[in-house]
Amino acid sequence: MFNLFWIFFKLGLFTFGGGYAMIPQIKEIIVEKNKWMTNDEMLEIIAISESTPGPIAINMATYIGFKQKKLLGSIAATLGVVLPSLIIIFIISLFLEQFMTNIYVGYAFIGIKCAVAFLILKAGINMLAKMKKNMFNLILLTLIFILMISLELLSKSFSSIYLILLGGISGIIYNSIRRTKI
Protein backbone atom coordinates (compact mmCIF):
# COMPACT_ATOMS: atom_id res chain seq x y z
CA MET A 1 0.00 0.00 0.00
CA PHE A 2 2.82 2.41 0.89
CA ASN A 3 4.58 1.54 -2.40
CA LEU A 4 1.45 2.48 -4.33
CA PHE A 5 1.20 5.76 -2.40
CA TRP A 6 4.93 6.49 -2.86
CA ILE A 7 4.89 5.84 -6.62
CA PHE A 8 2.04 8.29 -7.15
CA PHE A 9 3.49 10.78 -4.65
CA LYS A 10 6.71 10.92 -6.69
CA LEU A 11 4.71 11.25 -9.92
CA GLY A 12 2.73 14.11 -8.42
CA LEU A 13 5.84 15.78 -7.07
CA PHE A 14 8.10 15.60 -10.12
CA THR A 15 5.71 15.86 -13.08
CA PHE A 16 4.93 19.38 -14.27
CA GLY A 17 2.13 20.19 -16.67
CA GLY A 18 -0.75 18.17 -15.31
CA GLY A 19 -2.08 14.72 -16.01
CA TYR A 20 -1.23 14.54 -19.70
CA ALA A 21 2.41 15.16 -18.92
CA MET A 22 2.24 12.30 -16.39
CA ILE A 23 1.00 9.71 -18.87
CA PRO A 24 4.45 8.66 -20.19
CA GLN A 25 5.81 8.31 -16.65
CA ILE A 26 2.74 6.44 -15.42
CA LYS A 27 2.98 4.09 -18.40
CA GLU A 28 6.67 3.46 -17.79
CA ILE A 29 6.17 2.70 -14.08
CA ILE A 30 2.84 0.85 -14.23
CA VAL A 31 3.15 -1.06 -17.52
CA GLU A 32 6.86 -1.52 -18.18
CA LYS A 33 8.52 -1.52 -14.75
CA ASN A 34 5.93 -3.04 -12.39
CA LYS A 35 3.86 -4.88 -15.06
CA TRP A 36 0.66 -4.12 -13.16
CA MET A 37 -1.25 -3.88 -16.44
CA THR A 38 -0.87 -4.18 -20.20
CA ASN A 39 -0.58 -1.44 -22.81
CA ASP A 40 -4.19 -2.09 -23.88
CA GLU A 41 -5.42 -1.72 -20.29
CA MET A 42 -3.44 1.50 -19.99
CA LEU A 43 -5.06 2.90 -23.15
CA GLU A 44 -8.48 2.00 -21.75
CA ILE A 45 -7.65 3.73 -18.45
CA ILE A 46 -6.56 6.86 -20.33
CA ALA A 47 -9.79 6.88 -22.36
CA ILE A 48 -11.96 6.36 -19.27
CA SER A 49 -10.00 8.88 -17.20
CA GLU A 50 -10.32 11.51 -19.91
CA SER A 51 -14.02 10.98 -20.39
CA THR A 52 -14.98 11.08 -16.69
CA PRO A 53 -15.22 14.26 -14.61
CA GLY A 54 -12.09 15.43 -12.84
CA PRO A 55 -8.39 15.69 -13.61
CA ILE A 56 -7.01 12.81 -15.67
CA ALA A 57 -4.09 12.16 -13.28
CA ILE A 58 -6.40 11.75 -10.30
CA ASN A 59 -8.78 9.53 -12.25
CA MET A 60 -5.91 7.35 -13.45
CA ALA A 61 -4.37 7.11 -9.97
CA THR A 62 -7.73 6.16 -8.47
CA TYR A 63 -8.37 3.47 -11.08
CA ILE A 64 -4.86 1.99 -10.94
CA GLY A 65 -4.93 2.01 -7.13
CA PHE A 66 -8.29 0.25 -7.13
CA LYS A 67 -7.06 -2.35 -9.62
CA GLN A 68 -4.08 -3.07 -7.36
CA LYS A 69 -5.50 -2.91 -3.82
CA LYS A 70 -9.22 -2.18 -4.15
CA LEU A 71 -10.66 0.75 -2.12
CA LEU A 72 -7.62 1.35 0.10
CA GLY A 73 -5.36 1.25 -2.96
CA SER A 74 -7.47 3.84 -4.76
CA ILE A 75 -7.32 6.08 -1.68
CA ALA A 76 -3.53 5.63 -1.33
CA ALA A 77 -2.81 6.32 -5.01
CA THR A 78 -5.17 9.30 -5.14
CA LEU A 79 -3.69 10.85 -2.00
CA GLY A 80 -0.22 10.18 -3.36
CA VAL A 81 -0.83 12.08 -6.58
CA VAL A 82 -2.73 14.95 -4.93
CA LEU A 83 -0.62 15.69 -1.84
CA PRO A 84 2.48 17.10 -3.59
CA SER A 85 0.44 19.70 -5.48
CA LEU A 86 -1.53 20.57 -2.36
CA ILE A 87 1.64 21.08 -0.33
CA ILE A 88 3.42 23.06 -3.06
CA ILE A 89 0.40 25.28 -3.77
CA PHE A 90 -0.03 25.96 -0.06
CA ILE A 91 3.63 27.00 0.26
CA ILE A 92 3.49 29.13 -2.89
CA SER A 93 0.31 30.84 -1.66
CA LEU A 94 2.24 32.06 1.37
CA PHE A 95 4.74 33.83 -0.90
CA LEU A 96 2.70 34.28 -4.10
CA GLU A 97 3.44 37.91 -4.75
CA GLN A 98 7.21 37.54 -4.34
CA PHE A 99 7.14 34.25 -6.26
CA MET A 100 5.39 35.64 -9.36
CA THR A 101 7.65 38.70 -9.65
CA ASN A 102 10.85 36.65 -9.54
CA ILE A 103 12.47 36.79 -13.00
CA TYR A 104 14.00 33.32 -12.61
CA VAL A 105 10.61 31.79 -11.89
CA GLY A 106 9.40 33.31 -15.17
CA TYR A 107 12.36 31.84 -17.03
CA ALA A 108 11.78 28.45 -15.40
CA PHE A 109 8.14 28.44 -16.53
CA ILE A 110 9.18 29.07 -20.13
CA GLY A 111 11.39 25.98 -20.05
CA ILE A 112 8.78 23.92 -18.21
CA LYS A 113 6.13 24.80 -20.83
CA CYS A 114 8.39 23.50 -23.60
CA ALA A 115 9.06 20.26 -21.73
CA VAL A 116 5.37 19.77 -20.95
CA ALA A 117 4.39 20.29 -24.58
CA PHE A 118 6.86 17.58 -25.58
CA LEU A 119 5.60 15.17 -22.89
CA ILE A 120 2.00 15.62 -24.03
CA LEU A 121 3.01 15.09 -27.66
CA LYS A 122 4.98 11.98 -26.66
CA ALA A 123 1.96 10.56 -24.82
CA GLY A 124 -0.20 11.12 -27.91
CA ILE A 125 2.34 9.49 -30.23
CA ASN A 126 2.69 6.50 -27.90
CA MET A 127 -1.09 6.07 -27.74
CA LEU A 128 -1.29 6.31 -31.54
CA ALA A 129 1.47 3.72 -31.94
CA LYS A 130 -0.30 1.28 -29.59
CA MET A 131 -3.76 1.85 -31.10
CA LYS A 132 -5.22 -1.08 -33.02
CA LYS A 133 -4.97 -0.14 -36.67
CA ASN A 134 -8.08 -0.81 -38.72
CA MET A 135 -9.92 1.24 -41.32
CA PHE A 136 -12.56 2.53 -38.91
CA ASN A 137 -10.02 3.73 -36.33
CA LEU A 138 -7.88 5.43 -38.98
CA ILE A 139 -10.87 7.17 -40.60
CA LEU A 140 -12.23 8.33 -37.24
CA LEU A 141 -8.79 9.54 -36.13
CA THR A 142 -8.34 11.47 -39.39
CA LEU A 143 -11.81 13.05 -39.23
CA ILE A 144 -11.45 14.15 -35.62
CA PHE A 145 -7.95 15.49 -36.31
CA ILE A 146 -9.25 17.53 -39.26
CA LEU A 147 -12.19 18.76 -37.17
CA MET A 148 -9.88 19.82 -34.31
CA ILE A 149 -7.49 21.67 -36.63
CA SER A 150 -10.37 23.36 -38.50
CA LEU A 151 -12.01 24.54 -35.30
CA GLU A 152 -8.69 25.84 -34.00
CA LEU A 153 -7.94 27.70 -37.24
CA LEU A 154 -11.43 29.23 -37.20
CA SER A 155 -10.94 30.19 -33.53
CA LYS A 156 -14.11 28.34 -32.59
CA SER A 157 -14.50 27.26 -28.98
CA PHE A 158 -15.37 23.56 -28.91
CA SER A 159 -15.13 21.35 -25.84
CA SER A 160 -13.06 18.19 -26.24
CA ILE A 161 -15.83 16.29 -24.46
CA TYR A 162 -17.87 16.54 -27.66
CA LEU A 163 -15.04 14.93 -29.61
CA ILE A 164 -14.85 12.14 -27.03
CA LEU A 165 -18.63 11.63 -27.22
CA LEU A 166 -18.47 11.68 -31.03
CA GLY A 167 -15.78 9.00 -30.96
CA GLY A 168 -17.73 6.88 -28.46
CA ILE A 169 -21.00 7.14 -30.37
CA SER A 170 -19.23 6.39 -33.65
CA GLY A 171 -17.64 3.30 -32.09
CA ILE A 172 -21.00 2.06 -30.79
CA ILE A 173 -22.68 2.55 -34.18
CA TYR A 174 -19.81 1.01 -36.14
CA ASN A 175 -19.56 -2.07 -33.92
CA SER A 176 -23.35 -2.51 -33.80
CA ILE A 177 -23.47 -2.52 -37.61
CA ARG A 178 -20.49 -4.87 -37.76
CA ARG A 179 -22.09 -7.34 -35.32
CA THR A 180 -25.35 -7.26 -37.29
CA LYS A 181 -23.49 -8.25 -40.47
CA ILE A 182 -21.66 -11.07 -38.66
Residue-wise pLDDT tens digits, 122-143: 878 887 887 778 888 888 888 8
Cβ(81)–Cβ(58) below 8 Å: yes
pLDDT in tens, 2-17: 989 999 998 888 776 6
CB 45 within 8 A of CB 68: no
Asked whether residue 179 carries a pLDDT value surpassing 90, the answer given is: no
Percentage of residues in the chain having pLDDT higher than 90: 10
**In sequence order, which residues have a C-beta less than 8 Å from that of residue 2 and are 6 or more positions away?**
76
Q: Does the reported pTM lie above 0.85?
A: no
pLDDT given for residue 17 in this prediction: 66
